[in-house]
Structure 1
Amino acid sequence: MEFSAPGIVSYYTGPGQFLEILLDNKWSFTVRRPMSIANVEEKHITIIYKIFGQGTTLLAERKIGEILDILGPIGNVFSGWQGNFVPILVGGGVGLAPILNLFKECQKHQIHSKLIIGAKTGREHFMDHEPSNGIFLTTDDGTLGNSGTVMPSLKKVCADIDNPMVFACGPLPMLKSMQDFVIQNKIPAQLSVESYMGCGTGLCQGCAIKRRNVKEMAHSYHERYSLVCMDGPVYSASEVCFD
């Protein structure tokens, strides 16, 4: 979905940021839905979403000219991708939005990157599997690209590169597997965490995630937990727990 939002675009700082969208003014939809920014072009913003229930069905039924109640942009951004590393961009499921955004930024700055996108089946992909161009698609059912999860493709790509840096977004099991791999192999990585959040401002506390390596005597709530909407959604792989 693409919409005009010049006010939001004026505050946009880069790939990784997201929006909080109020889907309807009815009492049954009082909680906003987080949507990652997939592209910013002049005064326009693009988001990518999958229809899961009533909320996203309502969003899909929006017509041209209607007004959306949007809070944003929110969150921090991916960093280091313009450094001396080769960016390895990995997206899984609906987590591909910020990764595609970063991929386009790399192209814009003529930075050679590798893109790995995972999905359950080939019907969910809208790109071509082009390993010769650094684009690797995976499917759980093997109907397109490499069969299985993104992990085998990630391991192979990283093995072929001297100085990889991983940037990823996707479901928590994927991020957990990726975190274990990059920490074990001492590969720098930034992970964008997907989380349910009702406000996007830190008030509802619905997006708390446990920090790694917390001091045993830490008493402060914020020492033990991080709020994805306030501190994230992008974290170093060594910062948070996915257990």
Structure 2
Amino acid sequence: MFVPAAGEWRPPAECSLLLPAVSVGNVGQLAVDLIISTLDMPKVGYFYTDCLVPMVGNNPYATSEEHAKELCINAEIYASSDKKLAVLQIRSPLIKKKSRAFCEALTSWIKKCAFTRVVLLSSSHAYQRDDTQLFGTPFRYLVTPTLQTMVADTMKELEWKEMEKLSLYPGINDEEKKTSIPGGGFTKRLFEDCCSMGIHMAAVLKFCSEGDNIPDAFALLDHVNRWLHLLDLPDDVGTAHWKIPSSWRLLFGSGLPSALF
């Protein structure tokens, strides 16, 4: 359920929604952090749900000591009217067995807001790739049938690679295949729900491993930026200038206390 931060907020006409999946390496969430910080997007509300692990913390995008005192919770919505873009940032994992309820609540809100398109940023375990996925680009995408007709030419022009369907019984019966996104969190379930509800949705993911996933977040965002044009590219440079949020200074903790030495 959407709860406005102040007053009432409605998405503008032809507004897109961008959100992350809580997946391997938190790549989608890190990429969304970069978008919010770079575009200086104001908070417009919260997505209230009992499906996420509760959490509270300081403002992750604070630019001054005063702003640092503001609080953030597990699911917040930011928006840019100039870009016609809304961003849902998710900061905590789903509670066990709450995935279906969360996706139902999310798709219901998406339908109510009538977003032009929904883009989910996700990731998948690199070590669980099929042999055919070991070569070429580490990026994959999925689009719902309703969006496929609208972006087919664009995806072909960008030379993006669609997520392969893998055999249910490799070497025994290669006719039966399914979409598999190991480590992708609720990516597959949300995609299937959007397919059944006729929502214009695309999932863009990167194969990666746990560790320092900041480079993966930058790579995924640059990849998506080629399609969405969130930020203009500098001349003769293939990557945009994304602004790192202040909270990333403690991404790996505050370091060892000097008293130990």
Give the structure-1-normalised TM-score: 0.31
Give the structure-2-normalised TM-score: 0.29
Higher relative contact order (CA 8 A, sep 6+): 2
